[in-house]
Chains A and B, each alone.
Chain A
Amino acid sequence: MKAASKQEKPKLDQVIRIVLVALLIIFTFVCENYIGEYPKRVIMLCAIYVIMAIGLNIIFGFTGMFSLGHYGFMMIGAYVAVILSLPPEQKQAIYYVTGIEPWLANIEVNYFLGIIIGGLVSALVAVLIGFPILKSLNDDYLGIATLGFAEIVRVVINNLITITNGPLGIKGLPAFINIYWCFGFAALTVLFAVRLNRVSTGRVFKSIRDNEIAAEACGIHLVGYKVLSFALGSFFAGIGGALLGYWTATIDPKMFSQVQNFMVLMIIVTGGRGNITGTVIMSFVITFGMEWLRFVEEPIKIFGMHFQGIPGTRMLVFSLLLLFIILKFQKGVFGIKEFTVSSLYTRPKFLDRFIKAKEGKSDETK
């Protein structure tokens, strides 16, 4: 039936797709050239969170592996990308305390390659620790083990001073990053996730999430697919981390912490687990929300009375809102509804029934 509906209106789909891509390009162009510096940076941050959130969504949303150590891979990606791409003269200046390892001193690759290598190294590390950890651990234990791993990464970075410059961090990174970089990477990430959702590998991931034992009984190589999913997610974490490093123009071991991990986890859970549409939308909503909430810490005047802003209020209000969302929408705001091109012209009623049927099915399997 699906194939039939695909054949009915393939042209319309194609046209809408092209229009959407064009709109996105126009949007990025407008953002890059016609809006102020501050909103531009916020929009870039949104796109970076999309990348990192989709990374964790592959691990947690698709495959159901609970990871609290996503920020460890962000750290690895950021450090690898930055160290590889930094011009040698600048390295001399930055590593003034202990000097830099000689084999690193003269390496300089271009930024794009550096970011990709950052992602790849993250993925490689994920494979190396993935095999032992994913083989024997599940659920919360996995979460804690990954958290432990990320903390170990931080301590190691703190101590390998000749490679990472230790607690001082690397400051004054070149500010080359712009809307195109962030949206380009984000678009590729989303595209990849959407494809992954449709090919057999993605379905294997979801079968592992829904019932691991049944999946294994069907002949799925459990550990192999888990490691694959972990590595893919960590790849995007590395890329997101590298972009975040360039966005901040400085990296140090304290920059990445559980805060980022929780942000990303919140994005996924409020958007609906395994839901790409939800992840993208919530990345924007939550990042914008965090920025917008800055007003509560500014001095305000109410009825002629002057209130001094109190630091900490922003996170408090944010957490209260989050608590409200979690109590109100237990399956995420978007549940399992995905945006598709055809949903633009299909009757919503049909869509509703389709979703209900799908929900019924997924309940049965549990």
Chain B
Amino acid sequence: MSLFLQNFINGISLGSMYALIAIGYTMVYGILRLINFAHSNIFTVGAFIAFVFSATLGIHWAFAYLLAIIITALVGRLTEMIAYRPLRDAPRISVLISAIAVSYILENLLVMIFGGRPKSFPRPAMFDFVLDIGSIRLPVINIVIILSTVFFLAVLLLILYRTKSGRAMRAMSMDFDTARLMGVNVDQIVAITFVIGSSLAAVAGILVANKFPQINPYMAATYGNKAFVAAVVGGIGSVQGAAIGGVCLGLLEILFVALFPSLSGYRDAIAFLALIVVLLYKPTGLMGAGGKVKV
């Protein structure tokens, strides 16, 4: 039982990180109908900027992380301005290729600056100890991850449902053109979306770097793919769906390994298998609104 509980918390903390990245994917897809392949690299950029501030420059971790989140948000905004905005009316595949190009550019910039070898990430001493509750061993970082995910999710939902920009975002994800006709400043709202998505990705990057105190420029692919799967499983375009999808995938992955240790090699397949099964039975995802095809 205690083993189950421990795995359960592990799963939720892994899932929270997927969820944070997935939110960025799902918001951009909801509004622009674009699979933003560069998003997973924004996540890595966040981790590396935090690394520069806290390890290389030796700033106190709280400020370092805050700076990292802000700068990553600006990087995300910049990519939108350079690579996606000029293509707003282009065929969607062109925008997708553009996103792929941006993803390569970010990844290789990191390789050029930091090299391809993994770097060890300094974890603040505060997050470094392990709680022992009865027979459960609980690393504090897992609790930090879960709590910060809940916090940022709450902030995001407040923005989405209690502010004007949030309402504009929801309107645009329902119908881009009509929202534009109703006087929504489309470019500004898209920019805000990228800022929010990128800052959440930065948070996820910092949390991942803290949990496995090691970062490398190529870690984008593993987390990015699974986070995207989480977004699709939850119902792409829905923030709540992304959060639920992320947590479900994290749990599924950890519990699968815990229950069938002999099949642990198939760990990475389980997320994709879940994806295909969910897509086949509910193509728009768990929380997705069923879109009707108009003739």
- A residues bordering B, Cβ < 8 Å? 66, 132-133, 136-137, 140-141, 143-145, 147-149, 151-152, 155-156, 158-159, 213, 258, 262, 265-266, 269, 273, 310-313, 315-316, 318-320, 322-323, 326-327, 330-331
Pick the residue among B109, B268, B271 that contacts A312 (CB under 8 A).
B109
> Which secondary structure characterizes the binding site on chain B?
helix
Which single residue of chain B is at the shortest CB-CB distance from A140?
B35
14 further contact pairs, Cβ within 8 A, besides A148-B271, A265-B97: A140-B33, A140-B236, A141-B279, A145-B275, A147-B272, A151-B268, A158-B265, A213-B293, A213-B295, A312-B109, A312-B116, A319-B102, A319-B104, A326-B87
B225 on the A face (CB < 8 A):
yes
Say yes or no: B232 contacts A141, CB within 8 Å. yes
B91 at the interface (CB under 8 A from A): yes
1/0 per residue, CB under 8 A from A, across B246-275: the answer is 000000000000000000011011011101
Contacts of A323 in B (CB 8 A): 83, 98, 101-102, 105
**In the complex, B174 has a CB within 8 A of chain A:** no
Q: A327 with B112: in contact, given A151-B272, A316-B105, A319-B105 (CB under 8 Å)?
A: no
Q: 7 A-B Cβ contacts within 8 A? A: A133-B279, A143-B35, A144-B35, A149-B272, A312-B109, A315-B104, A330-B90
Interface majority SS (helix, strand, loop, mixed), chain A: helix
* B279 pairs with A327, CB closer than 8 A: no
| Measured CA separation A149–B268 after assembly (Å) | 12
Q: Shortest Cβ distance from A261 into chain B, in angstroms?
A: 10
C-alpha spacing A312/B269, complex, angstroms: 29
Nearest CB of B to A57, in Å: 12
User: Which of B100, B109, B229 is in CB contact (< 8 Å) with A148?
Assistant: B229
Say yes or no: is B276 at the interface (Cβ < 8 Å to chain A): yes
Chain A residues, CB < 8 A from B35: 140, 143-144
Which of A137, A311, A326 is packed against the most chain B CB atoms within 10 Å? Answer: A326
What chain A residues lie within 8 Å of B111 (beta carbons)? 311-312
Instruction: Report yes or no: B98 in contact with A326, Cβ–Cβ below 8 A.
Output: yes
C-alpha gap A330/B93 in the complex (Å): 9
Query: Bound state CA distance, A266 and B110, in angstroms?
Result: 23
Interface presence of B108 (CB below 8 A): yes
Which residue from A133, A140, A269, A322 sits with its C-beta under 8 Å from B276? A133
Residues of B with C-beta under 8 A to A143: 35
Query: What's the minimum C-beta distance from B72 to chain A, rounded to whole angstroms?
Result: 19
A316→B112 contact, CB < 8 A: yes
Asked whether, in the complex, the Cβ of B269 is within 8 Å of the Cβ of A151, the reply is yes
Tell which of B98, B102, B110, B115 has the most Cβ of chain A within 10 Å. B98
Bound complex: CA of A149 vs CA of B279, how far in Å? 12
> Which B residues are in CB contact (< 8 Å) with A133?
276, 279-280
Report B145 CB to chain A, min CB distance, Å: 25
Which of A155, A258, A262, A327 is the one whose CB lies under 8 Å from B268? A155
Chain B residues, Cβ within 8 Å of A326? 87, 94, 97-98, 101
In the complex, which residues of chain B have a beta carbon less than 8 angstroms from the beta carbon of A149?
272, 276
> Of A66, A137, A311, which is within 8 A of B112 by CB?
A311
Least CB distance, B242 to chain A, in whole angstroms: 14
Which residue, of B94, B110, B273, B295, has the highest number of chain A Cβ atoms within 10 A? B94
Query: Across the interface, do B108 and A144 meet the contact criterion of CB distance under 8 Å?
Result: no
With an 8 A cutoff between CB atoms, is B221 at the interface?
Answer: yes
Asked if B228 CB lies within 8 Å of chain A CBs, one says: yes
Q: How far is the CA of A143 from the CA of B232 in the complex (A)?
A: 11
When the two chains form the complex, which single residue of B29, B100, B228 contacts A262, counting CB atoms closer than 8 Å? B100
| Known contacts A141-B279, A148-B272, A311-B116: A258-B98 contact under CB 8 Å | no
A178 to B105, CA, bound (A): 34
B112 to chain A, nearest CB (A): 4
Chain B residues within an 8 Å CB radius of A151: 225, 268-269, 272
Task: Give chain B residues whose Cβ lies under 8 Å from the Cβ of A265.
Answer: 97, 100
Q: Is B183 positioned at the interface, with any CB of A under 8 Å from its CB?
A: no
Which residues of chain B come closer than 8 Å to A310, judged between CB atoms? 112
State whether the Cβ of B86 lies closer than 8 Å to any Cβ in chain A. Answer: yes
- Once A136-B283, A158-B265 are accepted as A-B contacts, the answer to whether A258 and B221 lie under 8 Å apart by CB is yes
- State the CA gap A151–B224 with chains docked (Å): 13
Given A148-B276, A159-B266, A322-B101: A137 touches B283 (CB 8 Å cut-off): yes
Q: How far is the CA of A320 from the CA of B98 in the complex (A)?
A: 10
Given contacts A310-B112, A327-B87, contact A269 B97 (CB under 8 A): yes
Which A residues lie within 8 Å of B29 (CB)? 140
Min CB distance B160 to A, Å, is 22
Most buried by B among A149, A273, A318, A323: A323
Pairwise interchain contact B109-A144, C-beta atoms closer than 8 A: no
For B295, give the chain A residue with the smallest CB separation: A213
Which residues of B sit under 8 angstroms from A269, Cβ to Cβ?
Answer: 93-94, 97
Contacts of B105 in A (CB 8 A): 316, 319-320, 323
Q: Return the contact of B87 from the options A132, A155, A158, A330 (Cβ within 8 A).
A: A330
Name the B residues within 8 Å of A147 (CB-CB): 225, 272
Cα of A315 to Cα of B217 in the assembled complex, Å: 14
Tell me which of B101, B102, B107, B279 has the highest count of chain A C-beta atoms within 10 A of its own C-beta.
B101
Task: Give, as a whole number of angstroms, the nearest-CB distance from A145 to chain B.
Answer: 5
